[in-house]
Structure 1
Amino acid sequence: MHIIILGSGVVGVTSAWYLASAGHEVTVVDRQSAAAMETSFGNAGQVSPGYSAPWAAPGVPVKAVKWLMQDLSPLMIKPTLDYNFYQWMSRMLANCTEGKYQVNKGRMVRIAEYSRDCLKALREEVGIDYEHRTGGTLQLFRTQKQVDGSAKDIKVLQELGVPYEVLDRDGCADREPALNYVKDKIVGGLRLPGDETGDCFKFTQALAAKCEEIGVKFMYNTDIDGLLTDKGDIVGVKTRQGVLKADRYLVCLGSYSPLLLKQIDMRLPIYPVKGYSLTLPVVDESRAPVSTVMDETYKVAVTRFRDRIRVGGSAELAGYDLSMPEKRRANVDFVVTDLFGGGGDMDRSEFWTGLRPMTPDGTPILGATRFPSLYLNTGHGTLGWTMSLGSAKFVSDLLCGRPTDIDPAGLSIDRYPFAYAS
């Protein structure tokens, strides 16, 4: 079977790997000049199943108002007349109930835990070097209120059997020795020892090379203009290089997925959430992190690669705007300097931005559609790297007609009754 994959980020390339490994002919199409040149390029570097949780949670609307009034706000909203934004926001707010939060977090952790296991298996199989570490994630609390508020997340972790450690100030510093310099700024933390770290860009580029070795064809510098339909099915992809035809089509275009699918009357509730990151070289090991530290106050993650520190965070709702105002560095600059000052060289830091494809319930959209030849693997929000391999393996199994390793309930587009035009 010939399968065309649209998108060569980490989700598209991992999908190509599993489908080609299953014996299919695979073509990957992307407008960029190489794999992982957009959202997969400069993300926070976390593979964090234990930290997988939807934005939509009880109390978030009130928190969001407070965030917007902070000097270093983790959330920014650009005024817009875009109807899609307000529709997405209303759906996200409708998921901010305790019951829906529990369901959505359960779905996300189900995918993410599976994905981490898939990553371990693939790492053993192909031996890719992507500067990975297995030191876990430390969610850092600056206030007692944050410690108390972590109880609901701990409850979900217990129900799902996810290992965790509740740490006091000294325990946090034991796990991340550089925090000894700033212990007075923290109260405690929640450590998720099963989490990992690694450079998503390096991983994706290395896996793309492995894909080519087993026959995957990559068509870079190829703009995708639309999908062709006939008799209720997809029959081709319109590109600037002509029409491409296959037996199956898999959309892995992240934030751009709804723009493509709108042309065939599919309404994916995905909105681009803009994030920023810094990458800086390590200059003092004693002041640098050893794994990932998530600052709960500012919603910024500080992750250690081999000889670099990646700082990722902020959530800006600004549509498809990819501009990088210098003032947007403030949040990520502050956190890395406040917690790990002197660990990296800020004068040589690289500033980056990308769009995270967020669904209103946090769960990606995986699997079949009402078009027999069309499948989806998109909408992973801030957790594309974390969920990529599990999502790819799951969708690959569906495409191949094999039983899936995880429960498919609630993962497809069918959970949105408005997804198809009437």
Structure 2
Amino acid sequence: MKIVVLGAGVIGVTSAYYLARAGHEVTVLDRQPGPALETSHANAGEVSPGYSSPWAAPGIPMKALKWLFMKRAPLVIQPMADLATWRWMLALLGNCTQARYALNKGRMVRLAQYSRDCLIALRTETGISYDARMQGTLQVFRTQKQLDGIGKDVEILAGDSVPFEVLDRAGCVAAEPGLAPSADRIVGGLRLPTDETGDCYKFTAALASLCEGLGVRFRYGLDIRGLQLSGGRIEAVATADGAIAADAFVVALGSYAPALLAPLGLDLPVYPVKGYSLTVPIIDEARAPVSTVMDETYKVAITRLGDRIRIGGMAEIAGFNLDLPPSRRATLEHSVEELFGGAGDQRQATFWSGLRPMTPDGTPVVGPTCYANLFLNGGHGTLGWTMACGSGRVLADLMSGREPEIASDDLALSRYGR
């Protein structure tokens, strides 16, 4: 079958890889000059099935109100008057119940754990290199109140059979020796030893090269203008270079997918939640993190990527704005310097922002649509890197007429009744 994949981020490229492995003729289209140059380019670097939880959770509305008044707030809501923003935020609030949280988290953990297994298999089969580390994630708490409040998280982790360790201050330093000079700033932590880290950009670029070896064709620098419908099926994708026909189509355009799908009557509830990162070269190995450290106070992830530190986090509701305000950079610098002061050279840091494609229930949209030859793979939010391989494999199985290895009916767009 001839398949066109729209989008060359980590989701689009993993989709192309598994589709090509299944024997299909695949073409990937992207407006950028290469793979993973937008949201996949400089994310936090975590592959964290254990942290696969929806943002919409009981208690989040009250926490969000408090965050809005913090000097270094993890959440920023810019004044917005457009209907799409308010509609998405109301849908998010509607998922902040215990029942919805349990349902959504169950879906996310299922896909994330499967994705980790797929990534391990892919790495074993191909020998792909991307600054990978398999040394876990450590969530550090600066206050006793934060540490005392992990009871529900621990209960969920135990229920999902996710290995974890609750650590005191000394235990945190033993896991991450670079924290020793700042040990007095933390009271304890929660460690997930089976989590991984890695450079999502390096992975996606390397996988794109492997895809080319499987016969996948990449067409970069191509403006995608729409999908052409004929007889209840998608006939072609309209581009700046003309129409490109295929037997089936995959939309993996992240935050830009809803605009492409709207003319077809498809209402994809994905919103661009802006995030930021700093990438800092290491100048003091002994003070640098070993793996990923999550600073619970500022909701910032500090990750070791080879000879660099990636500091990523924050959530900003600001539409498609990609500006880089100095105040956001200051928050990232503050977090890393308080915990790993002097480990990296901030003067040489690269400051970046990207748009996370978020659904209101946290679960990505993976699967078919009401059009028989149109499939979706998007809405992964902050977990695109974590869920990429599993999502690509599920999609390839569905499009190849095979039963996926995990339940997938509740991942499709149809779960919204649309």
Map of 2:415 onto structure 1: 415
Distance in 1 (alpha carbons) for counterparts of 2:356 and 2:49? 17
Alpha-carbon distance, 1:155 to partner: 1.4
Q: What's 1:217 paired with?
A: 217
Please name the residue that 1:180 is paired with: 180
Amino acid at match of 2:324: M
| Aligned pairs, number | 418
Distance in 1 of aligned mates of 2:162 and 2:38: 31
1:386 pairs with 2:368: no
Aligned counterparts of 1:250 and 1:288: Cα–Cα separation in 2: 40
Q: Which residue of 1 aligns with 2:283?
A: 283
Partner Cα distance (2:407, 2:166) in 1: 30
1:313 aligns with 313
> How far does residue 234 in structure 1 lie from its aligned partner after superposition?
1.0
Matched residue, 2:147? 147
Shift of 1:301: 0.1
1:165 aligned to 2:165?
Answer: yes
Deviations along 1:212-234, one digit per CA (max 9) or x if unpaired, are: 01100001000100001122221
Q: How many Å separate the matches in 2 of 1:148 and 1:140?
A: 12
Q: How does 1:310-389 map to 2 (within 5 A)?
A: 310-389=310-389
The amino acid that maps onto 2:399 is L
What's the CA shift string for 1:310-336, capped at 9, x where partnerless? 000110110001111222212111111
Match of 1:62 in 2: 62
Separation in 2, partners of 1:104, 1:147: 24
Partner residue in 2 for 1:20: 20
Aligned ranges 1:102-121 → 2 under 5 Å: 102-121=102-121
SS in 2 for 1:81: coil
Contact in 2 for aligned 1:283/1:345 (Cα 8 Å): yes
Cα shift at 1:145: 1.7
* Preserved contact between residue 102 and residue 156 of structure 1 (Cα < 8 Å): no
Deviation at 1:148, TM superposition (A): 2.2
Supply the distance in 2 between the matched residues of 1:409 and 1:107 (Cα, whole angstroms): 10
**One-letter code of the match for 1:130?**
Y
Distance of 2:7 and 2:210 partners within structure 1: 17
Amino acid at match of 2:192: L
SS class of match (1:301): strand
Residue 179 of structure 1: how far off its partner (Å) = 1.0
Q: Please tell me whether residue 36 in structure 1 is matched to residue 36 in structure 2.
A: yes
Residue 75 of structure 1 aligns with an amino acid whose one-letter code is: L
**RMSD value over aligned CA atoms?**
0.8
Deviation at 1:128, TM superposition (A): 1.1
Q: Which residue of 2 aligns with 1:274?
A: 274
Provide the rounded CA distance (Å) in 2 between the counterparts of 1:397 and 1:37. Answer: 27
SS at match of 2:38: coil
Q: Which moved more, 1:393-402 or 1:327-336?
A: 327-336
Residue identity over aligned pairs, in percent, reads: 59
Task: Please give the TM-score of this superposition, normalised by the length of structure 2.
Answer: 0.99
Q: CA deviation at 1:142?
A: 1.1
Distance apart, 1:133 and its partner CA: 0.1
Contact 1:44 1:311 in 2 (8 A): yes
Q: Which residue identity lines up with residue 118 of structure 1 in the other structure?
A: C
Q: What is the distance in 1 between the residues matched to 2:128 and 2:50?
A: 24
Query: 2 CA distance for matches of 1:303 and 1:217?
Result: 33
Partner amino acid, structure 2, of 1:33: P
What residue number does 2:227 align with? 227
In the other structure, the counterpart of 1:302 is 302
C-alpha separation between the residues in 1 aligned to 2:187 and 2:96?
27
Q: Where does 1:42-57 land on structure 2 (aligned, <5 Å)?
A: 42-57=42-57
Distance in structure 1 (CA, Å) of the matches to 2:146 and 2:100? 21
Gaps of 5+ in 2: none
* 8 Å contact kept, 1:284–1:344: yes
TM-score by length of 1: 0.98
In 2, distance between residues paired with 1:231 and 1:334? Answer: 56
Quick one: distance in 2 between partners of 1:172 and 1:328? 27
Alignment of 1:194-205 (within 5 A): 194-205=194-205
Cα distance in 1, alignment partners of residues 155 and 36 from structure 2: 36
Secondary structure at the residue paired with 2:267?
coil
Mapped partners of 1:80, 1:67: distance in 2? 18
Q: Are 1:106 and 1:156, in contact at CA under 8 Å, matched by a contact in 2?
A: no
Query: Does the 8 Å CA contact 1:272/1:320 hold for their aligned counterparts?
Result: yes
Which residue in 1 is equivalent to 2:253?
A: 253
Q: For 2:306 and 2:79, how far apart are their aligned partners in 1?
A: 40
CA distance in 1, matches of 2:230, 2:108: 35
CA distance, structure 1, for counterparts of residue 97 and residue 144 of structure 2: 23
Q: Separation in 1 of the partners of 2:155 and 2:391?
A: 25
Match of 2:403, SS state, is coil
Question: 1: distance between equivalents of 2:380 and 2:331?
Answer: 23
Displacement of 1:255 after TM fit?
Answer: 0.5
